[in-house]
Amino acid sequence: MTNKEFAEILEKRTTQFAIQIINLSASLPHTTESLVVKNQLTKSGTSIGANYREANRSRSKKDFKNKIKICLGEASETEYWLEIIEEINWINKNKMDFIRKEIKEFMAIFTSIANKL
């Protein structure tokens, strides 16, 4: 697989992940406390794909690496909010399995990319 093919696949994965995050966020309870978590989760979870898309259109290797590190930071923040949701039991843990697996894979991918640059 070429770098370009990998990038296209990962862009699609991050887009699908963003949609799943939006759907998850929409299913959270409608309380004052959950509004904070919903907002933060949606912002960080959708930002991963947006920043990865920007990285693929960067002007330099340095810019690419910076945006990949932003992706990693957003993935880490998203994982944090998912842990909070799981600990509070706002969502059934079985429903979270795929999303939690995907965020861990994104973190591993972005870490690997950043380390290779």
Render pLDDT for 81-113 as a digit per residue (tens, 0 to 9). 999 999 999 998 888 899 999 999 999 999 999
Q: How would you class 25 by CB atoms within 10 Å of its CB: exposed for 0-12, middle for 13-18, buried for 19 or more?
A: buried
Residue type, 116: K
Residue 78: predicted pLDDT: 98
CATH number of domain containing 58: 1.20.1440.60
Which tens digits make up the pLDDT trace of 3-29?
899 999 999 999 999 999 999 999 999
Q: Into how many domains does the chain fold?
A: 1
The mean pLDDT value for 60-78 works out to 96
| The dihedral formed by the CA atoms of 92, 98, 42 and 51, expressed in degrees to the nearest 10 | 170
| Structural domain of 51 | 3-116
This prediction's pTM: 0.93
What pLDDT does 86 receive?
A: 93
